[in-house]
Amino acid sequence: MTLIPLPAFADNYIWMLHDGQRALVVDPGEAQPVLDALRREGVQLEAILVTHHHPDHTGGIDALRNATAAPVYGPARESIPPPFVPLEGGATVQVLGMIFEVMDVPGHTRGHIAYHCAAAQPSPLLFCGDTLFSAGCGRIFEGTPAQLQHSLGLLAALSGATRVCCTHEYTLGNLKFAQEVEPDNATLIAYVDVCRQLRANGLPTLPSTIAQERAINPFLRTEVPTIAASAKAHDAASVADQGVFATLREWKNHYR
Ligand code: ZN
Ligand code: FE
C-alpha cells in the first residue's frame, strides 16, 4: 500500500492510499489534484472517504464522482454532497480489502468522524480530518471544548505506532505555540528541527504518529505540570472556570 498526501489549496492534504491498482482518497476539497494523482499513479478510484462537511474537505466530491463513479462515505450527522453512505461511530467500511472502523470525534464540527484501520501494514492508519493536527488540534467551530478533548482522548488512546494523517500542514505554527506552552520538552525541541528541515525541503511533516503526538502535542498533555502552569499564567480565571484544555484552545486562537 502506498500512502500519499496530495497538496491542495494553501495548506490542505488530500490523502490517497493505493495498492497499485485501486485507490481511496480522504477529504477531496478539490478534484484536480486527485485526478492528476490517479493518472500519475495509474490507479482507479474505489472510494471517497469524508470526515466532515467543510468545503475544503468536500468541494471536489461531485467532480470526482462524475469522473470515476466512486462511492462516497461520510458523516451521518452532517450534510455533504449527496448521495453518500452515512456513517456513525462503530460502523465499519471495507475499502481496498481493508477494514476501517469509524470513530465519532465531534468538536471541530458536531458530526465529525475519523477512519481507523488497526490492521493496516506496516502500521495502523488514522484519517482524522481536522480533529487532531501534528502538535495541535482543530478549532472548535460547532462543538464544545469538552467534546473535542474527549474526541482527542479517543485518538490518543490508539496504538502509538498509528500513522496520523491530518488534513492540514499546520505543524510549524502549532510547534511555535507548543514551545511557548512547554518550553522544557526536549522531544518537542528535537521535533521542531526535524519539521523545519522537512518544510525547508518542500516535504510534508505528515503523517505523524500517535506516540509522537502524545510526546509533543500540548492538547494531549494538559495534565503536564509545565503546561497547566503556562495556561494559568496566561489566564488563571479561564483555567479555574473551564480548565486547561479550553484555555489552551482559546489562547491558540489568537496566538501568532
Ligand atoms: Zn474543517
Ligand atoms: Fe479543513
Ligand nearest to the CA of 75: 1
pLDDT digits (tens, 9 = 90+) for 63-90: 999 999 999 999 999 999 999 999 999 9
Ligand nearest to the CA of 51: 1
Q: Kindly state the percentage of the chain with pLDDT values over 90.
A: 100
Query: Ligand 2 centroid vs 128 CA: distance in angstroms?
Result: 11
Residues with CB under 5 A from ligand 1 (ion): 54, 130
pLDDT digits (tens, 9 = 90+) for 187-204: 999 999 999 999 999 999
Q: Reply yes or no on whether the pLDDT at 183 is more than 90.
A: yes
Query: Ligand 1 centroid vs 225 CA: distance in angstroms?
Result: 30
Identify whether 207 is preceded by a cis peptide bond (ω within 30 of 0).
yes
For cell 502552569, what's the residue?
229
Query: Ligand 2 centroid vs 24 CA: distance in angstroms?
Result: 19
- CA torsion sign for 140, 145, 147, 148 is positive
Its pTM stands at: 0.98
pLDDT digits (tens, 9 = 90+) for 83-137: 999 999 999 999 999 999 999 999 999 999 999 999 999 999 999 999 999 999 9
Strand partners for 245: none
Q: Reply yes or no on whether the pLDDT at 256 is more than 90.
A: no
Q: How confident is the model at residue 185 (pLDDT cuts 50, 70, 90)?
A: very high
Report the C-alpha gap between 134 and 117 in whole angstroms.
19
- pLDDT at residue 212 in the model: 98
pLDDT digits (tens, 9 = 90+) for 211-242: 999 999 999 999 999 999 999 999 999 999 99
Residues acting as catalytic residues: 52, 54, 56-57, 108, 130, 168
- CA torsion sign for 30, 212, 184, 241 is positive
Identify whether 5 is preceded by a cis peptide bond (ω within 30 of 0).
no
Name the grid cell of 256. Answer: 501568532
Report the C-alpha gap between 117 and 100 in whole angstroms.
5
Query: Ligand 1 centroid vs 108 CA: distance in angstroms?
Result: 7
Query: Ligand 2 centroid vs 108 CA: distance in angstroms?
Result: 9
Query: Ligand 1 centroid vs 186 CA: distance in angstroms?
Result: 31
- pLDDT at residue 132 in the model: 98
Q: Reply yes or no on whether the pLDDT at 163 is more than 90.
A: yes
Report the C-alpha gap between 207 and 110 in whole angstroms.
25
Instruction: Report the pLDDT averaged over residues 170-195.
Output: 98
